[in-house]
Amino acid sequence: MSGQNRSTAVMQRRAKTKEPRPDDSFDAFDYYPTPAWGTRALCEWLEAEGLASPGLQDVWEPACGEGHMAKPLGEFFREVYAADVCARGFGDVDDFLWHSDRRADWIITNPPFRLASQFATTAFDRARFGVAMLVRIAFLEGSDRYNNLFAKLPPSHIVQFAERLPMVKGWVDRNASSATAYTWVVWHKASGSSTRFHWLAPCRKRLERDSDYASSAGKFDASQLSAGEPAA
């Protein structure tokens, strides 16, 4: 993959636990961390479609949790700014919906489901080139969401996994199964207002790594941490 191993800035994350922690924020903020292969699949697709130039662009992950998405983003993008409203031992503590002075080339995240529409509109305003959000496929339906979001801000691409991306509350589990389907919704500012549908061919076996599920994360060089916000 030509886009890998380019980032100079992802934050160190703490070890994954085997059981959900007794933390109300798991419920309050819909914390379902993303298996790394699902993020790698998006990055490969963005690069193959010519929508992103990962080695030359930065990315903001505003709901980073413990870094499950930020780390693979760092394999592709030049710089990653990771933050979350909850302190989970990774990235900055920052409320994405309240701050308006930061910008990034791309904003890519798995947002809290109940706040996904607000994340989409906020991210579109702050991203220079595009936004990608991982959401339940049910996010695409609903008259209120259509009228308040999609009719006003139609996505340029719906990128659907051909195989299930299983996610569970509170941690990543290689052996998890799920009845919930997820899809990437992409707003690329140069692509116009027409929405196109794409399949992501089966790729889990190729993109998944044992280290994605290690009991303790690989350590990142602290000298390479992002110093605050992406460049203006």
Spatial contact of 61 and 36, defined as CB atoms under 8 Å apart: no
Give all domains of the chain, ordered by start, each with its CATH number.
Answer: 30-213 (3.40.50.150)
Give the pLDDT score at 109. Answer: 98
Spatial contact of 55 and 3, defined as CB atoms under 8 Å apart: yes
The model's confidence at residue 4, banded by pLDDT at 50, 70 and 90, is low
Q: How far apart are CA 186 and CA 192, in angstroms?
A: 12
Tens of pLDDT, residues 128-185: 999 999 999 999 999 999 999 999 999 999 999 999 999 989 889 999 888 899 999 9
Tens of pLDDT, residues 109-144: 999 999 999 999 999 999 999 999 999 999 999 999
| Res. 226: pLDDT tops 90 | no
Give the pLDDT score at 217. Answer: 41
Read off the amino acid at residue 56. L
Measured distance between the N- and C-terminal CA atoms of the chain, rounded to whole angstroms: 29
Give the pLDDT score at 43. Answer: 98
Tens of pLDDT, residues 86-100: 888 888 898 999 876
Give the pLDDT score at 106. Answer: 98
Give the pLDDT score at 26. Answer: 44
Tens of pLDDT, residues 201-210: 999 999 999 9
Q: What is the pTM of this model?
A: 0.82
Tens of pLDDT, residues 36-78: 999 999 999 999 999 999 889 999 999 999 999 999 999 999 9
Give the pLDDT score at 8. Answer: 40
H/E/C letters for each residue in the chain? CCCCCCCCCCCCCCCCCCCCCCCCHHHHCCCCCCCHHHHHHHHHHHHHCCCCCHHHCEEEECCCCCCCCHHHHCCCCCEEEEEECCCCCCCEECCCCCCCCCCEEEEEECCCHHHHHHHHHHHHHHEEEEEEEEEEHHHHCCHHHHHHHHCCCCCCEEEEECCCCCCECCECCCCCCCCCCEEEEEEECCCCCCCEEEEECCCHHHHCCHHHHCCCCCCCCHHHCCCCCCCC
HSE value, Cβ hemisphere, 13 Å, CA-based, for 152:
11
Q: What is the mean pLDDT of the chain?
A: 84
Tens of pLDDT, residues 214-224: 753 433 332 33
Give the pLDDT score at 88. Answer: 83
Please name every residue paired with 131 in a beta bridge, in sequence order, or none if there are none: 107, 187
